[in-house]
Amino acid sequence: MSTATATALRGTLRIATAGSVDDGKSTLIGRLLHDTKTVFEDQLSAVIKASRRYGDGETNLALLTDGLRAEREQGITIDVAHRYFATPERSFIVADTPGHAQYTRNMVTGASTADVAIVLVDARHGVVEQTRRHAFIATLLAVKGIVVAVNKMDLIDWDEAEFDIIAKEVEAYVEALPTPVPVVAIPLSALLGDNVVGGSVHTPWYDGPPLLQLLEQFDNQPRIAVGPRLHVQRVIRPQGGEFADFRGYAGVLSGGTLAVGDTVTVQPNGITSTVRALHRAGRPVERAEIGHALVVELADKVDVARGDVLVGADSATPAHVGETVEIDICWMIDAPLTVGSRYWFKHGSRTGRATVTAIDHCHDLATLERVPTDRLGLNDLGHIRLQLSEPIVADRYVDNPDGGRLILIDEATNTTAGAAMVTSIAP
């Protein structure tokens, strides 16, 4: 895991927590919030009051994030909760995700936007099925690093050998995955605070930083640059007044930087033009980075509509245009996905119909085996093929996650049914 230079400003870090039930995810976040002075007095007194009501012996910091009545009554995390804290170094957005296998879809959602996944392991139990499952999902979703928080070290007397076994097992497991990422392990106690914000007197054998310091220094720069892409969300046309001739294309930049004067191709129709001006948050800019919300003016009057994509003409990797796609998908609804099923798809700003033409396999998350199947059920992860009603301009997810992701929407209920990562696109 690389460390940014001391002088470089570090941007917002998005974190997802994962791990099995009762590994202490919510307690760890509660500890981070508490020890960075992010918890307010009225929140703390409400937590103390609630801890007594639910019969938790001491102040249960998990109640800081388990906000729904059902969660507090059952003592579990059901849905993703978002929490925020900042240090003088950087700001953090934390998605606290559920540990139960039946809420895997919520873990996928929480990890989808994360730079870093913190996978908790109960030191007493070591690596369990959920550890492997969540590490696999995190790498599939292309987090930039995994922190293995070996929690409850106090309950195994801060045993270095036990810690090493767990750390090496996760490292070896992730190394063998299709898309490995760097792994760092930390021995800690979320309950007592050791190695969370400050260090620990119990781990003289551990020479790494405490968790917070590791997160403060984590380099979250994009790992890949395919070249600039901008999915047009909306055409900005003032229609009258001093900006009567203004025509701008609004969208978020992904895949690479874009500057005034750059040549872009409008896909899928293939027309080429030059960037005349860029605007970000209402102000002109000469150059834009990945993630910036832009309005792009082109030098030529070309036909551009919502759903089209502006692609840098000199992209390192050309964007693929096609309506036959292969995807990894996490299934998120009860009604199973089968061959011949039809859904809405949304990719970038383009929506259309999708028909399932093949189910290649389902990932057995415990063994990592590819199991042949004719259906995907709730929380299954599988590899399938889709025929789309219209072409999309896409990247493979491993090349550019922003251009390689799509969702399927159930036609009957309109709910989001699947989260998909493109592995190949063909005409």
Partner 1 sequence: MSLDVNLDTGSSDAAQAQHEAAHLHLDVLTDEAITIIREVAAECENPVLLFSGGKDSAVLLHLALLAFAPARLPFPVMHVDTGHNFAEVIEYRDRLVADWGVRLVVASVQESIDAGRVVEDTGPRASRNRLQSVTLLDAIGEHGFDAAFGGGRRDEDKARAKERILSFRDRQGRWDPRQQRPEPWGVLNARIRKGEHLRAFPLSNWTEVDIWNYIALHEVPLPSIYYSHTRTVVERDGMLLSVGGPVVLEDGEAPFDAVVRYRTVGDASCTGAVESTARTVQDVIAEVAAARITERGATRADDTFSESAMEDRKREGYF
Residue 283 burial (C-beta neighbours within 10 Å; 0-12, 13-18, 19+): exposed
Among 155, 293, 316, 371, binds partner 1 (CB under 8 A): 293
Q: Which is nearer to partner 1, 15 or 148 (CB)?
A: 15
User: What is the rounded distance in angstroms from the CA atom of residue 17 to the CA atom of residue 31?
Assistant: 13
47-66 residues in contact with partner 1 (CB under 8 A) are 49-50, 64-66
Among 113, 179, 324, 357, binds partner 1 (CB under 8 A): 113
3-class secondary structure, 182: coil
140-199 residues in contact with partner 1 (CB under 8 A) are none
CB 325 within 8 A of CB 383: no
Decide: is 224 part of the binding site for partner 1 (CB under 8 A).
no
CB 422 within 8 A of CB 326: yes
Among 58, 176, 239, 270, binds partner 1 (CB under 8 A): 239
For tokens 């020890």, name the residue: 35
Decide: is 104 part of the binding site for partner 1 (CB under 8 A).
no
3-class secondary structure, 125: coil
Decide: is 414 part of the binding site for partner 1 (CB under 8 A).
yes
For the CB of residue 207, give the shortest distance to partner 1 in the complex, in Å.
Answer: 28
For the CB of residue 254, give the shortest distance to partner 1 in the complex, in Å.
Answer: 11
User: What is the rounded distance in angstroms from the CA atom of residue 60 to the CA atom of residue 31?
Assistant: 10
Decide: is 220 part of the binding site for partner 1 (CB under 8 A).
no
Q: Which is nearer to partner 1, 170 or 232 (CB)?
A: 232
For the CB of residue 204, give the shortest distance to partner 1 in the complex, in Å.
Answer: 33
340-369 residues in contact with partner 1 (CB under 8 A) are 344, 346, 349
Decide: is 41 part of the binding site for partner 1 (CB under 8 A).
yes
- What tokens appear for 417 in the block? 């049914």
Number of residues located near partner 1, criterion CB under 8 A: 76
CB 383 within 8 A of CB 358: no
Decide: is 233 part of the binding site for partner 1 (CB under 8 A).
yes
Decide: is 8 part of the binding site for partner 1 (CB under 8 A).
no
User: What is the rounded distance in angstroms from the CA atom of residue 251 to the CA atom of residue 232?
Assistant: 5
385-404 residues in contact with partner 1 (CB under 8 A) are 401-402
Q: For 343, left (φ over 0), alpha (ψ -120 to 50), or beta?
A: beta
Q: Which is nearer to partner 1, 10 or 100 (CB)?
A: 10
User: What is the rounded distance in angstroms from the CA atom of residue 288 to the CA atom of residue 66?
Assistant: 38
Among 132, 292, 350, 396, binds partner 1 (CB under 8 A): 292
Among 281, 303, 340, 372, binds partner 1 (CB under 8 A): 281
**Distance set, CA 344 to CA 62, 329, 336, 413, 414 (Å):** 38, 14, 15, 11, 9
